Amino acid sequence: MGTEKKAGAVEERSLSVTYTPSVIQANFDALEERVRAVVADYEGAVYDLASADAVREAKHDRSYLNGLKKEIEERRKAVKREYSKPLDAFEKRCRQITAIIDEAADGIKAQLDRAEEERRARAYAKLQEHYEEFAGLLAPVVPYGRLHEPQWLNKTFGEVKAYEALEAKVSKLAGDWEMLKSQFEGEPFYAEAERELFATLDLGAALAAARKAAEENARIAELKAAMAPEPEPEPEPESEPTAEPEPMPAPAPMPAQQPAPVAAPAPVPAPVAPSGPATPCVMVIDSATTEQMRSIGSFAGSIGVTGVFKRGTLQQAYERTIR
């Protein structure tokens, strides 16, 4: 809405002020002469404050001097109040008029602010739509708001630059996710690491979360083992009363010794046909010798199971793997 001017009208836009500077006259010279004469009696005064009378005298003199000062100060303030009344009235009237201008300007500002909020909302929606198209599988698990940067909505940043910055951020997250899956998917506590990655967008934080979960699990296992009750010893069988010995029967004739039968070798198991898709798994063995591990490995290989033995506890094997 433009400003229209009527033909022939004189526009009065500036503040026209007419005032007469006031002159304040006072008997400063006579007052100064009187004050100097009074103060001269007290300059360099020394009081023996060990005496109660001298303390009272010092306090009296100081009160007298302060009274002279107070009289002058009160008169000065009274003159200032009177002198300032025209100025206060002038400023008050100016503020009343400028408030009318502020009201109109604020109405325009409210419209501009509302338009800017709508523009930013449209820009945000376009970035979110582009993210959902570009991110693929990441979009359902990582909301756009977690990647959004406020400066992307600024006019000075630009729409094209905002799209490029968003795509770079998504590509980095996708790369970190692929790296995490290629190295640790199927390992213990992978879920914790993946959840932390999607929450913080930080691969280092994800690895730290997996390591912390593994350490806590190991501590819990140690605590449970320490708190497990020891097995109670089996009771010894009670002795029966001794009976009188019976006469031993005559020994029967020994039959002719027969050769002991030779046991047939155990058949080698045939490979087991898979009944479903093979999945990674972990077998925990409390302890085994090298020969025992070789035997277990031979048996596992004979049925089509492949893998690698890693010495140590589950926690130790995991830590060596992630290093």
320 pLDDT above the threshold of 70: no
Q: Which has the closest alpha carbon to 314: 291, 281, 278?
A: 281
Is residue 145 a contact partner of residue 172, using CB atoms and an 8 Å limit?
no
pLDDT at 265: 45
Is there a contact between 214 and 315 (Cβ–Cβ < 8 Å)? yes
Q: Per-residue pLDDT tens for 146-155?
A: 999 999 999 9
Instruction: Give the pLDDT band of residue 5 (cuts 50, 70, 90).
Output: very low
Residues with Cβ < 8 Å from 35, sequence gap 6 or more?
68
Task: Report how far residue 83's alpha carbon sits from residue 20's, in angstroms, rounded to the nearest whole number.
Answer: 12
Residue 137: the pLDDT is 84
Measured distance CA(300)–CA(288) in Å, rounded: 15
Task: Give 41's DSSP letter.
Answer: T
Is residue 253 a contact partner of residue 284, using CB atoms and an 8 Å limit? no
Kindly state the DSSP code that residue 248 receives in the 8-state scheme: P
Share of the chain above pLDDT 90, in %: 43
Phi-psi region at 18: left, alpha or beta (left = phi > 0; alpha = psi -120 to 50) = beta
pLDDT tier at 286 (50, 70, 90 boundaries)?
A: confident
Q: What is the dihedral of CA 124, 127, 128, 131, to 10 degrees?
A: -160
Q: Kindly report the pTM of this predicted structure.
A: 0.49
How many residues comprise the chain?
323
The enclosing H or E element of 87 equals helix 52-135
Return d(Cα 196, Cα 170) in angstroms, integer. Answer: 16
pLDDT at 297 over 90: no
Mean pLDDT of 308-315: 68
Quick one: pLDDT at residue 259? 46
In whole angstroms, give the CA distance from residue 323 to residue 304.
29
* CA proximity to 283, closest of 306, 259, 255: 306
Residue-by-residue DSSP string for 188-240 = TTHHHHHHHHHHH--HHHHHHHHHHHHHHHHHHHHHHHHHSPPPPPPPPPPPP
Name the residue with tokens 């691969």: 203
Region 2-24 average pLDDT: 68
How far is 272 from 293, CA to CA, in rounded Å?
20
Rounded CA separation 60/54 (Å) = 10
- Cα–Cα distance for residue pair 5/39, rounded to 1 Å: 69
Token pair of 63 as six digits: 């009160």
Distance CA 115, CA 231 (A): 78
Q: What is the pLDDT of residues 87-104, one digit of tens each?
A: 999 999 999 999 999 999
Q: Is 192 a residue whose pLDDT tops 60?
A: yes
CB atoms within 10 A of CB 15: 10
- C-beta neighbour count of 294 within 10 angstroms: 12
Rounded distance, CA 232 to CA 289, Å? Answer: 28
Query: Does the pLDDT of residue 177 top 80, yes or no?
Result: yes
The domain spans of the chain are 31-40+47-112, 131-226, 291-322
